[in-house]
Structure 1
Amino acid sequence: MNLHQPLNAYAHSKRPRLLCASFNQEQECFAIGHEHGFHVYNTDPTERRVKRDFVDGGIGIVEMLHRTNYLALVGGGPTPKFPINKVIIWDDLKNNVALSLEFLSSVLAVKLSRTRIVICLKTKIYVYIFSSPPVRLAVYDTVENPLGLCALSNNKLVFPGIQDGHLQIVDLSQQGQERNLISIIKAHRAKVKCLALSHDGAHVASASETGTIIRIHSVETTALMHEFRRGIDRATIQSLSFSPTSNRLALLSDKDTLHIFDTSPLSASSNRRHVLSKVPLLPRYFSGEWSFVQARLGDDRTGRGTLGGVIGWASEDCVVVIWPTEGKIERYAIKEKDGSTPSGIVIQGNINGNGSVRTIGTIGDAGNEKWELIRDSWRKFEDI
């Protein structure tokens, strides 16, 4: 069974369809896999740096190792280049396979560091030493994890625990392995749907399948650091991503909304709050923190609510969204309002033929009108 089917619904198209997209560890680059190979792009500016086309199949998972010549590949599409139960460590300098790891079931996700290879299956997480040949370091059980949720940063590995709503944290450093440092976070009541680690590995953000609350916990102490509210209606959180300084968190939902939360120590003064937040004895809904700026993205798009996008950051003030279904990338700038633009007004104009400028600010109950999100550019991927 091929779990990496094309994300583009237009099967009649002669162009290869996009199968996956992922950012490297610093979010300076991203890679896309399609039915006939993979491409690598710089994030800012968005320029293609690598194009690898295969005549014998597609790539359903591609994961970069910083800016090195090594990538993790898993086959995908109607005719996979590699078996979907095998992880290929590809040496792009030599244009061939450097290492391979085979499993009894489909590979759902791969994460890389300079010293570790992490492979996610439906109910297992495998950790290997990045060596030739790879040496298996540990195996961890998880609750059923069909989305392949796991995150790796600064030798900290996070993935679903063995109970719904729980997160398991493993220290993959040499000291952590020697002391067998494993922590459990009871993050949600419902099943975890999305998670992300900060770049320093200090904090983990997670959302459940309910999609109304996002929680950020300390990886070191497991303490709850922030609790943010996306909305009151159920939603699927498709992507979470910390900014380069980890002071902001971007969220994309199937409601076609992009939210930005302030996660800095001074976030209480930046994020929006309900006008009744200071009234005592009211439900927690009224006291929750909301995103300090958000935008609705669905006015000129079709069919993306189910398939979703992948978020990354070009800078602390610029969010990029990759839409695999449409083979397109968009940039959204976080701007401080100058006081001359009324909230809710849409401004349109051309930007060198790349798209339109649209200011779509959503002001919360607390009336925070300081920030707005502007789509400042977009582009299609070549030949996809």
Structure 2
Amino acid sequence: MNVHKPLNSKSTTRARLLCAAFNQDQECFAVGHERGFQVYNTDPMERRVRRDFSDGGIGIVQMLHRTNYLALVGGGRSPKYPQNKVIIWDDLKNIAALSLEFLSPVLQVLLSRTRIVVCLKSKIYVYVFSSPPVRLSVYETVDNPNGICAMQNNKLVFPGLTEGQVQIVDLSPQGHDRNLISIVRAHKGKIKCLAISHDGSLIASASETGTIIRIHSTANTALVHEFRRGIDRAVIHSLSFSPSSKRLALLSDKDTLHVFDTSPLSESSNRRHILSKVPLLPRYFSGEWSFVSTRISDQRIGRGILGWASDDAIIIIWTFEGLLEKYAIQEKPDVGTRRKSSPSGNDSPVGPNSIGALNDGPSEQWELVRTSWRTFDDL
């Protein structure tokens, strides 16, 4: 069964993109396609590695920082490797250095300098990054067909055994010896998207409803922020923390890009409802809304993958269209001019028919501007 189908089905001589993923610091990213994989610098976008295979495509590719090691899983119309097999590729020697085989298709692979994490539909396998790899742990999860998991700084997060739960595992030697595992009751519904900050201190989660995004501390599982994207359902395609972890970007099927401030509540510039300080009101009124958002131009098709070039520059990779876009967070030229409506493209319920009104101050100071874009014509 081929679970990594092409996401770009346009008629073109260019190889169809199957996947894309940023490395751990988001300064590079890799794409897999029907004929191999490529590695690029993020900003400016510049190709660094090109590997073409004559015998099939790559459906999952993950980098290990800027080293010569990558994790590969076959995909596309003619997969290079079986889709139940993970290959650790040594690009310096141009060979498959290690391999791991499973009884079901691999949905995601994560790498650190000491760990290999493999996500299946209902299990997470953790290995020591060694030759040969040594299995450390196996974790059961709720049904997870999208391979949702994330890892940074020895913190691994993935859906728990119950819908709405997020499991946090400390993969450091000390954490493994003490079996440090935490459970966060993040949502009522099934987890749809997860992200973890670069220092591993914060996790962001969204459920299938897609209206609320919650930020929890990995140290004590405390709720740090509760963000509201809107009041109507949406599919959250991607969440990503900025390099400093002070901002969180969100991309949904509403064709809207949101950015939230993840600073402490007292310092946050996110918008709030005018009734947010009134006690005993429903939680809707106390939620935080994005401080800036924009509607993505020329409705994109399929799933976009978010990354950051800096704390003020967001990168979106559109695998279906083979396109990279860069959006800059900029202060408006005349911040003294306040519009009475929400920022362009915000799918938040602001207006005469909305429930109450938001404090619009911070959102009127900033805007998201598409500053550059480039297609993957060199595949």
Note whether the superposition's TM-score is higher than 0.5: yes
- Cα distance in 2 for partners of 1:255, 1:321 equals 15
**2:368 aligned with 1:373, yes or no?**
yes
Aligned equivalents of 1:84 and 1:341: distance in 2?
Answer: 56
Taking the aligned partners of 1:108 and 1:320, their CA distance within structure 2 comes to 23
Deviation at 1:340, TM superposition (A): 6.6
Look up the match of 1:108. Answer: 107
Contact 1:361/1:372, CA 8 A, preserved across alignment? no
Q: Say if 1:59 and 1:339 are closer, same or farther in 2 by CA, change over 3 A.
A: same
Matched, 1:308 2:303: yes
CA shift, 1:301, in A, is 2.9
Question: Does residue 1:47 correspond to 2:42, yes or no?
Answer: no
Residue equivalent to 1:180: 179
Range with greater deviation from structure 2 (314-323 or 367-376): 367-376
Q: Counterpart amino acid of 1:93?
A: L
SS of 1:138's partner is strand
Displacement, 1:317?
0.3
| Counterpart residue number, 1:6 | 6
**Could you tell me how far apart the structure 2 residues matched to 1:54 and 1:182 are?**
41
Kindly report which structure 2 residues correspond to 1:295-334, keeping only aligned pairs within 5 A, or say none.
295-297=294-296, 299-302=297-300, 304=301, 307-334=302-329
Counterpart secondary structure, 2:284: helix
- Partners of 1:15 and 1:343 in 2: how far apart? 46
Which runs of at least 4 in structure 1 moved beyond 4 Å after TM superposition?
266-269, 340-344, 359-364
Distance 2:326 2:67 in 1: 25
Q: Distance in 1 between matches of 2:191 and 2:316?
A: 22
Cα deviation code 1:229-281 (max 9, x no counterpart): 00000000000000001000000001011000000125654001123323444
SS in 2 for 1:286: helix
Q: Distance between the aligned counterparts of 1:134 and 1:24, measured in 2?
A: 21
Q: Which amino acid aligns with 1:366?
A: N
Query: CA separation of 1:165/1:14 partners in 2, compared to 1, >3 Å: closer, same or farther?
Result: same
Aligned to 2:134: 135
Q: Which runs of 5 or more residues in structure 1 are unaligned?
A: 345-358
Letter paired with 2:333? D
Q: What letter matches 1:133 in structure 2?
A: P
User: What root-mean-square deviation, in Å, do the aligned CA atoms of Structure 1 and Structure 2 show?
Assistant: 1.8
Question: Which amino acid is 1:8 matched to?
Answer: N
Structure 1 residues 282 and 85: alpha-carbon distance in aligned structure 2, compared to 1, 3 A threshold: same
SS state of the match for residue 37, structure 2? strand
Report the Cα offset of residue 341 of structure 1: 9.2
Q: Contact 2:14 / 2:377 at 8 angstroms: preserved in 1?
A: no
Deviation at 1:308, TM superposition (A): 1.4
Alpha-carbon distance between aligned partners in 1 of 2:337 and 2:78, rounded to the nearest angstrom:
52
**Between 65-74 and 270-279, the greater mean CA deviation after superposition:** 270-279
Question: 5+ unaligned residues in a row in structure 2: which ranges?
Answer: 351-357
Alignment of 1:345-360 (within 5 A): 360=344
Distance of 1:226 and 1:269 partners within structure 2: 10
The alignment of Structure 1 onto Structure 2 pairs a total of residues equal to: 366
Matches within 5 A, 1:163-202: 163-202=162-201
1:28-62 Cα distance to aligned partner (Å, 9 max, x none)? 00000000001101011111111111111000000
Q: Deviations over 1:44-99 (max 9, x none)?
A: 11111111111110000000000000000000000001110000000001111010
Q: Which amino acid aligns with 1:300?
A: D
Distance 1:110 1:269 in 2: 34
Q: Scaled by the length of structure 2, what TM-score is found?
A: 0.93
TM-score by length of 1: 0.92
Q: Distance in 1 between matches of 2:334 and 2:266?
A: 22
2:53 matches 1:60? no
State the secondary structure of the residue aligned to 1:66: coil
Match of 1:350 in 2: none
Partner of 1:347: none
Q: Secondary structure at the match of 2:78?
A: coil
Deviation of residue 336 (structure 1)?
1.1
Looking at structure 1, the residues matched to 36 and 225 of structure 2 have their Cα atoms a distance apart, in angstroms, of 40
**1:343 to partner: Cα distance:** 7.0
Task: Indicate the percent of aligned positions where both proteins have the same amino acid.
Answer: 70
What residue number does 1:276 align with?
Answer: 275
Are the equivalent residues in 2 in contact too, given 1:293–1:361 (CA < 8 A)? Answer: no
